[in-house]
Amino acid sequence: MISLDFNFNILTRDLSHYLENQVKVGLFGSGVGLSLVLGFSAAYTCYYLVSVAKKPQLISGGKKFYQFLREQCPVVSETYYPTFWCWESRIQTLLRPFVTAKPGVVYRNELIKAADGGQISLDWFDNDDSFSHPDPATRPMVLLLPGLTGTSRESYILHMVQQSRDLGYRCVVFNNRGVSGEMLLTPRTYCAANTEDLETVIDHIQRANEAAPIMAAGVSMGGMMLANYLGRKGRETCLKGVVVFSAGWDVFECTASLEKPLDRFLFNSYLTSCLQASVHRHRPVLEKCYDIDHVMKAKTIREFDERFTSIMFGYPTNDDYYHDASPVHRLKSVQVPMLCLNAADDVFSPSHAIPVEAVKQNPNLALLITCHGGHIGFLEGLWPRQSTYMDRVFKQFAKAVIEQGGGLADLS
């Protein structure tokens, strides 16, 4: 303790000496400069602790699920401390792909056939070195669904694979058609409303691993697809539990938010170009059925969906597609424990469209809302390289579902 105190005093003295010599204000000399720096730092710290760092809001439709989460997932009750130098939503969203590490993961790829003759790419992490679950026949499995243009190589997916590996579980990533390097065999891609490919994938992995418990995690559009799947299937699914991150619950509200000038500049135009790039890669197959030149002139996601997605999946209008793609309309039918994490400052899923009241009506649902975190951000720590708040929620909930799942029986 003496050594620690001594080192701290030396550090404080050296820091003060540096500031006195480097911070020059000129009005009253370096003392005023030092006072301003220390005063600003103190004010910023107070603001951060009072207005930024807050406990998340946990909402559930039933006391049993609520209590289960409080007991098995302590992260839901802990204060979330966003990275103090980048807690603003857009900065969190933009920086996460660059500041978070990408764990090394070696996948085993599998291509499976779809009913229409297309192919679906699955990336497996088998975790054959699992100490806690050495038997591959019973090794728990986590199905992961990336976002709108994401693949198994996204940092947030790699982090969930890493967390699953630490728990001893196997992972499989469902890549949407045409995004992970495989060829399109039919003129069809994907959308949040259509869950046929997801149903095919879940049936496939269940048949291959009949004795293993299966849970799923979806991010952004992947979470929307999972929620829509559960709403359609009710109890007719093998999934033991689901966790959804940064889902857009009402597509009308999500697209309207992303069409505001700043968010259109930062996010909408970029995502539209990513969608168009995927269409361009598969142009020889797609141009037989769709006006690709018209699609390539779209400036926003809404225009892209009007010219491509809604037409591909047979909707009379784009509004019909957006209504069908919005998970908020199916939450009442979900019969599997589903935890949803959203940030109140997420411009992709605005706070007024988070389905708080719908969640309160279904005992199988729980909603965790942080004040900050952006879209798939949730950065925390001084330098958020290794883990995020979202990663911790995933790991604790996955472990709870797989190992304490009995506590989730009969939530109604």
Task: List residues with catalytic annotation.
Answer: 220, 346, 375
C-alpha–C-alpha distance, residues 377 and 362, integer Å = 27
What are the distances in angstroms from CA 79 to CA 220, 367, 389, 390?
A: 23, 16, 10, 13
Three-state DSSP string of the chain: CHHHHHHHHHHHHHHHHHHHHHCCCCCCCHHHHHHHHHHHHHHHHHHHHHHHCECCEEEECCHHHHHHHHHHCHHHHCCECECCCCCCHHHHHHHHHHHCCCCCCCCEEEEEECCCCCEEEEEEECCCCCCCCCCCCCCCEEEEECCCCCCCCCHHHHHHHHHHHHHCCEEEEEECCCCCCCCCCCCCCCCCCCCHHHHHHHHHHHHHCCCCCEEEEEECHHHHHHHHHHHHHCCCCCEEEEEEECCCCCHHHHHHHHCCHHHHHHHHHHHHHHHHHHHHHCHHHHCCCCCHHHHCCCCCHHHHHHHHHHHHCCCCCHHHHHHHHCHHHCHHHCCCCEEEEEECCCCCCCHHHCCHHHHHCCCCEEEEEECCCCCCCCCECCCCCCCCHHHHHHHHHHHHHHHCHHHHCCCC
Beta-bridge partners for 239: 214
**Could you tell me if 242 and 216 are in contact, meaning their C-beta atoms sit under 8 angstroms apart?**
yes
Region of 376 please: left (phi>0), alpha (psi -120 to 50) or beta. Answer: left
What are 119's strand-pairing partners? 113
